[in-house]
Amino acid sequence: MIEPVTESVDPRYAAIDTASVAELAALMNAADAEVPRAVHSALPQIVPAIEAVAVRMRAGGRLLYVGAGTPGRMGVLDASECPPTFGTPPELVRGIIAGGDAAMFTAQEGVEDDEGAGRAAILAEEVGPADSVLGLAASGRTPYVVAAVAEARTRGALTVGLSCNSGAVLSAAAEHAIEVLVGGEVLAGSTRLKAGTAQKLVLNMFSTIVMVQLGKTYGNLMVDLTVTNAKLRERAIRMVSRVTGASAGEAAAALEASGMRVKLAILRIEKGLDEEAALAELASVGGRLRAVLEGAAMEGAP
């Protein structure tokens, strides 16, 4: 059997047990610096996959991450950040981890090898042609993930396989293959390190870029965020003030009148729209605030 690159022993790190803390920290920092370059090399694979996911989500589909162990936890983490950051319903972007919720906190032995459970997870989610399923496996051969992606593909879903090995089994199972080749780990086989960092960087791209494409931002402002605490309330006030030029007091009043929804507060100040009219305007342009604010200038723009 050919050894996956993620399991290889890198001779550069053969004596880490004799290194000082300072030397080890420098070694790990240098190793981590290799990851963004590897992600950059994979951009030709990443970009079309994100574009395809955005098309399906714009039509109402969901994005599901599927993984086991560390990749599964990262998928759950990335998905859980979408509702507060972009105001999405919890079911729109979801993370599925082998072993269920308990596996988020405690390793569940053997669950990653259960192909039947991977298929069952896709059936339980009632995955269909509108959806996108992104499988995460550093080795690219985790049975649970490969089976889940294969099942999703047979059900017409868009499928993406994200691994850190070339010619991965997961790549063959998915419609879109992404292989971020980070090489051997400082601690041989511990793919929570460089491979985990690479997968997190790619997930950042997927969730952020798709949401930008869906009109969830205005410039680089999170204008669809859900205001759930004092910090986010202050952030919302600052955003409304920045976009409209209104004082903090005026911005806060507009937010209160708009149910703490940033887009509606901005349109209340800038265009004098009440909630019903603002929602109708946004709905007509796919939720894009810029298109409402600059409608005349953007008319006919690509």
Q: Which residues are catalytic?
A: 81, 112
**H-only helix segments in 125-261:** 143-154, 169-173, 194-213, 230-244, 248-257
Residues in the chain: 302
**Interatomic CA distance for residues 148 and 286, integer angstroms:** 31
**Interatomic CA distance for residues 145 and 128, integer angstroms:** 17
| H-run or E-run covering 38 | helix 34-41
Q: Is the Cβ–Cβ distance between 160 and 174 less than 8 Å?
A: yes
Tracing tokens 């723009």 back to the chain, one arrives at 301
- Exposure letters 58-70 (e unless 16+ CB within 10 A, then b): eeebbbbbbbbbb
Which amino acid, 151? E
Q: Is the Cβ–Cβ distance between 122 and 90 less than 8 Å?
A: no
**Interatomic CA distance for residues 89 and 254, integer angstroms:** 24
- Across the chain, the runs of DSSP E, i.e. the strands, are 63-67, 93-97, 132-136, 158-163, 176-179
For the four alpha carbons of 11, 15, 16 and 19, in that order, the dihedral sign comes to negative
